[in-house]
Amino acid sequence: MRPNDRKADQVRPIKITRNYTAYAEGSVLVEFGNTKVLCNATVEENVPRWLKGQGKGWVTAEYGMLPRSTHSRMRREAANGKQGGRTMEIQRLIARSLRAVVDLEVMGEIMVTVDCDVIQADGGTRTASISGASVAMADAFQHLIDNGKLKKNPMKGHVAAVSVGLLGQDVLCDLEYVEDSAADTDMNVVMTEDGRMIEVQGTAEGEPFSHEELLSLLESAKKGITEIVAAQKAALEN
């Protein structure tokens, strides 16, 4: 039995709060159960040097965890003097996922940076980050349209992500921390709203997994992402 009587294929309660802070062009607090991530999208009217003069935009992301977002305190990366490998992996993943649903040519020479800062971590922070960042980015583009800086919305659709895992024989959707720690296989799936895949990252922590298990994991992820996309759309309609 899962915590809070969740069913195997059930995602945690999702809450998406827009305009969470006052200054960012898009600001979203996304909650998947106890996992809470603040996603702030910043618009800047210049692009990285290597892209200048090509008439194209860029989307990037940064990720961080507050030191006490976790059960025991983690060292602050700024005090360590560098971002860890896990942080870099995650922020590269978020950025790739966002770019996959954006037409960079339509953007023109504009850069959007989405900062995903984990306020509270109970598993699935990278997938919550992607799901929240998609909404924050949508608000940032709408801001540009409202201000006459963009004529057409460069977003081709939503992007959402979920983690799924194998715990013994069970395929579980949207793992929370205790499940994630115990899982044999953990898979992060990033999809567009039409159900196609942007990223699939499956890792066997214990035993390797079979082709059939992979198919079950993907099926569970697809179902979960459908619910997340619905929550994204509902949030944007408010």
By the 8 A CB rule, do 41 and 112 touch? yes
Structure-token match 């996304």, residue found: 30
What is the distance between the alpha carbons of residues 97 and 61, in angstroms, rounded to a whole number? 10
Binding residue for a copy of itself, selected from 78, 152, 178, 181, defined by CB under 8 A: 78
Output the CA angle 121-127-128, nearest 5 degrees. Answer: 55
Number of residues that bind a copy of itself (CB under 8 A): 64
Is 49 assigned a ligand-binding role in the annotation? no
Structure-token match 């759309």, residue found: 233
Distance in Å, CB of 34 to a copy of itself, minimum: 6
Other C-beta atoms within 10 Å of 123: how many?
A: 23
Closer by beta carbon to a copy of itself, 151 or else 165:
165
By the 8 A CB rule, do 154 and 104 touch? yes
DSSP 102: B
47 Cα distance to chain centroid:
23
Closer by beta carbon to a copy of itself, 49 or else 151:
49
What is the distance between the alpha carbons of residues 64 and 198, in angstroms, rounded to a whole number? 22
Is 26 assigned a ligand-binding role in the annotation? no
Binding residue for a copy of itself, selected from 67, 104, 142, 216, defined by CB under 8 A: 67
Closer by beta carbon to a copy of itself, 214 or else 230:
214
Residue 70 as a binder of a copy of itself (CB under 8 A): the answer is yes
Site string for a copy of itself, 190-219 (x = CB under 8 A): -xx-x-xxxxxxxxx--xxxxx--x---x-
Other C-beta atoms within 10 Å of 22: how many?
A: 6
Residue 10 as a binder of a copy of itself (CB under 8 A): the answer is no
Binding residue for a copy of itself, selected from 7, 15, 52, 92, defined by CB under 8 A: 92
Segment interacting with a copy of itself, rule: CB under 8 A, options 36-44, 47-55, 167-175, 230-238: 36-44
Residue 103 as a binder of a copy of itself (CB under 8 A): the answer is no
Q: Is 172 helix (H, G, I), strand (E, B) or coil?
A: strand
Residue 229 as a binder of a copy of itself (CB under 8 A): the answer is no
DSSP 155: B
Is 124 assigned a ligand-binding role in the annotation? yes
By the 8 A CB rule, do 192 and 158 touch? yes
Residue 40 as a binder of a copy of itself (CB under 8 A): the answer is yes
Closer by beta carbon to a copy of itself, 7 or else 88:
88
State both tokens at 80: 């360590």
Q: Is 137 helix (H, G, I), strand (E, B) or coil?
A: helix
Binding residues: 86, 124-126
- Binding residues for a copy of itself (CB under 8 A): 21-24, 27, 34, 36, 38, 40, 42, 44, 62, 64, 66-73, 76-89, 91-92, 96, 100, 113, 115, 117, 119-120, 187, 191-192, 194, 196-204, 207-211, 214, 218
